[in-house]
Amino acid sequence: MSVQALVIEGGRLIDPANGIDGVRHLLLRDGVVELASEGPIVPPPGARVIAAAGKWVLPGFIDLHVHLREPGQEGKETIATGCRSAVAGGFTSIVAMPNTVPPIDTGLLVKFVAERGREAKLCRVYPSGAITRGQKGEQLTDMAELRDAGCVCLTDDGRPVMSSALMRRALQWALPLGLPLMVHEEDMELSAGGWMNEGPVAARLGLLPIPASAEVAMVARDLVLAEDTGGRVHFAHVSCAASVRLIRDAKRRGLRVTAEAAPHHFTLTDEAVEGWNTHARMNPPLRAREDVEALCEGLADGTIDAIATDHAPHSVADKACEFDCSANGIVGLETALPLTLELVHAGRLSVRRAVELLTVGPARVLGLPGGELSAGRPADVTIVDPNEEWTIDASRFYSKGRNSPFDGRRVKGRVQVTVVGGRVVFENGDVKENG
């Protein structure tokens, strides 16, 4: 059954890849963008018209870093509930992290994730696969098999590849396959025993510290290995000022590396951990003010290519416990847009750059379709009301997770409509199941 054609009328179309920022009318048909026009569009027979005057019409958001928890931890999230959360947050494409139970380290498992994603019929789900078998950091996975099964990048996310020799060989094996390696940078010996960022807050709360050098030393190592091998490295959830500096310098020297930052890392400092707040526990941990500043600069100047949520849903019991027993991470998909817009409202980021970081930026990191709205591109669109003020309410998340340090935060700017492949999958607060 073909999808009803859709005309989105009179919105402010912001399409950074094509240098467009102005009022346009958009025609979506047969799953692709047919036309973005300055003049009015006569709706084809049977088409639905969405009036978007005063709204922003954007390429659908792309999240490179999502933990969907299936298979194995369906109590925290399933691929279906994660997809609901995604479209509610304006995301039309998400990359599923492979640290499930078992980890995604065979072609069969990659196909399972892709199939469950298709069954959810909401957004596009791109599987990633592990760099090492079982994410144990000991033996490489069958990377060509993973790629041929549909995996878009390789990562042991949640863990680093501690062995430099193995990392070097992983880069060499993956290079001719065209698969980027997404790296979680943490020297496990430097971070061992630590619970939060090193500094006055950790000292005061009596939480053993994780030094910034645990991340920075591994970023430095992998820049060296990327240069050495010519391999493609993407730095996941960069959190430290010194990491941003190293990546900026490497890019200036022409290295083909990319990086992402998570909204919680550019919004909150480690002060959020006050009171042993388990909702502020993540890995990498929330950092100091100067790190937050450096991330904002990196987002603005292109050092950081993408905003990625590191969506990490957990059950209530995983967080209602002692700080050192609690799980890492927060629900990210449904709060990414307003937190990104906080930087726009504060004058730290242009609207165009903010949109770029959520759309064509991540698309280019992994060479994914979408991220722009020229004719022939996928009809993935996110319509945003930039002026709506609202209060984040974790109890109303579409995710199974309720773990958010942003619960109760007053924000401005909200996703109104999400369109995937020309089909409305989210509208005015409601996910349209199997529409």
Partner 1 sequence: MSAGRHLLQIRGLDRADVESFLELAEAHKRAHLEGRTLQPLRRRVVANLFFEDSTRTRSSFEIAARSLGADVLNWTARGSSMAKGETLLDTVRNIDAMGPSVMVIRHSSSGAAALVSRHVRASVVNAGDGTHEHPSQALLDAFTLREKLGTLEGKRVVIVGDILHSRVARSNAHCLRLLGAQVVLCGPLTMMPRGIEALGAEVAHDLDALLPDADAVMMLRIQLERQQAGLFPSPREYARLYGLNAHRAARLQKHAVILHPGPMNRGVEIANDVADGLQSAILDQVQNGVFVRRAILERCAA
**Binding of partner 1 at residue 318 (CB under 8 A)?**
no
Window 271-290: contact mask with partner 1 (x via CB under 8 A): ----xx--------------
CB count within 10 Å of CB 288 equals 19
Task: Name 38's Cβ contacts closer than 8 Å, sequence gap at least 6.
Answer: 22, 23, 24, 25
Given the complex with partner 1, which of 270 and 342 has the nearer CB atom? 270
User: Cα–Cα distance between 95 and 311 in angstroms, integer?
Assistant: 11
Enter the DSSP assignment of 179.
Answer: P
Q: Which of 198, 291, 310, 342 binds partner 1 (CB under 8 A)?
A: 198
**Binding of partner 1 at residue 200 (CB under 8 A)?**
yes
Given the complex with partner 1, which of 1 and 325 has the nearer CB atom? 325
**Binding of partner 1 at residue 324 (CB under 8 A)?**
yes
Counting DSSP H helices and E strands in the chain, the numbers are 14, 19
**Binding of partner 1 at residue 224 (CB under 8 A)?**
no
The answer to whether 179 and 143 have CB atoms below 8 angstroms apart is yes
Given the complex with partner 1, which of 2 and 322 has the nearer CB atom? 322
Closest separation in Å from C-beta 121 to partner 1: 38
Closest separation in Å from C-beta 275 to partner 1: 7
Query: 147 φ, ψ to 5°?
Result: -60, -45
Closest separation in Å from C-beta 323 to partner 1: 5
**Binding of partner 1 at residue 203 (CB under 8 A)?**
yes
Residues in contact with partner 1, counted by CB under 8 A, come to a total of 23
Residues 298-317 that bind partner 1 (CB under 8 A): 317
Q: Which of 320, 375, 390, 433 binds partner 1 (CB under 8 A)?
A: 320
Window 363-402: contact mask with partner 1 (x via CB under 8 A): ----------------------------------------
Q: What's the distance, CA 424 to chain centroid?
A: 21
User: Cα–Cα distance between 62 and 435 in angstroms, integer?
Assistant: 21
Place of tokens 């349209």: 432
Residues 29-68 that bind partner 1 (CB under 8 A): none
**Binding of partner 1 at residue 207 (CB under 8 A)?**
yes
Which helix (H) or strand (E) element contains residue 207?
none
Place of tokens 């196909």: 111
Closest separation in Å from C-beta 293 to partner 1: 18
Q: Which stretch binds partner 1 (CB under 8 A): 214-222, 323-331, 378-386, 419-427?
A: 323-331
Determine the longest span between alpha carbons in the chain, in angstroms: 67
Closest separation in Å from C-beta 200 to partner 1: 3
Catalytic residue, chosen from 310, 318, 380, 385, is: 310
Q: Give the end-to-end CA distance of the chain in Å, rounded to a whole number.
A: 11
Q: Which of 323, 397, 398, 406 binds partner 1 (CB under 8 A)?
A: 323
Q: Which stretch binds partner 1 (CB under 8 A): 86-94, 207-215, 373-381, 424-432?
A: 207-215
Between helix 351-358 and helix 336-345 the angle, nearest 10°, is 160
Between helix 79-88 and helix 107-120 the angle, nearest 10°, is 50
Closest separation in Å from C-beta 161 to partner 1: 24
291 noted as active-site residue: no
Q: Of 332, 366, 132, give the one whose Cα is nearest residue 234.
A: 366
Q: Which of 10, 160, 209, 284 binds partner 1 (CB under 8 A)?
A: 209
DSSP 364-383: HHHT-S-S--STTSB--EEE
**Binding of partner 1 at residue 244 (CB under 8 A)?**
no
User: Cα–Cα distance between 304 and 125 in angstroms, integer?
Assistant: 23
Each residue of 56-95: b (16+ CB within 10 Å) or e? bbbbbbbbbbbbbbbbebbebbbbbbbbbbbbbbbbbbbb
Q: Which stretch binds partner 1 (CB under 8 A): 190-198, 328-336, 381-389, 413-421?
A: 190-198
Give the footprint of partner 1 on this chain (CB under 8 A): 193, 195, 198-209, 275-276, 317, 320-325
Catalytic amino acids?
310
